[in-house]
Amino acid sequence: MDKIYFNGMAFYGYHGVFEAEAKLGQRFYVDLELSMDLSRAGASDDLNDTVNYADVFHCVQQIVEKERYNLVEALTARIADRLLQAFPFSEVKVRVTKPDPPINGHYDSVAIEMSRKREGSA
């Protein structure tokens, strides 16, 4: 299956279980691996035979910046589900990275990754 990748999309959101996270917000990074048949687009060189990357970006941006979730798991699941609803992907893999969670310790970040398939896809 062909793939479209989005790497390192950066957004500012208000997700987390603590009051300060909901009030102050923080950065979130989103990476996508999107599966669909791109053979027609490769042959035609026509945007109508693929997805508009800007539409995908804005879909994710709306979720991260305009919605609110306590858990990064819920945010990640929402992105995956919405991408399958809005676009003709057969499978999506979504990774949401939270670089500054309120954990006392040394680490680069924490991340959640989820894969979802369209019903009926093999």
Residue-wise pLDDT for 2-59, tens only, equals 999 999 999 999 999 999 898 999 999 999 999 999 999 999 999 999 999 999 999 9
Residue 98: active-site member: yes
58-117 pLDDT, tens per residue?
999 999 999 999 999 999 999 999 999 999 999 999 999 999 888 888 888 899 999 999
Q: How far is CA 104 from CA 26, 69, 72, 100, 101, in A?
A: 16, 22, 18, 10, 9
How far apart, in whole angstroms, are the C-alpha atoms of residue 3 and residue 22?
Answer: 34
- The residue annotated as part of the active site, out of 23, 66, 93, 98, is 98
| 122 has pLDDT over 80 | no
Residue 100 pLDDT: 82
**CATH code for the domain defined by 3-117:** 3.30.1130.10
Residue 92 pLDDT: 98
How far apart, in whole angstroms, are the C-alpha atoms of residue 102 and residue 93?
Answer: 26
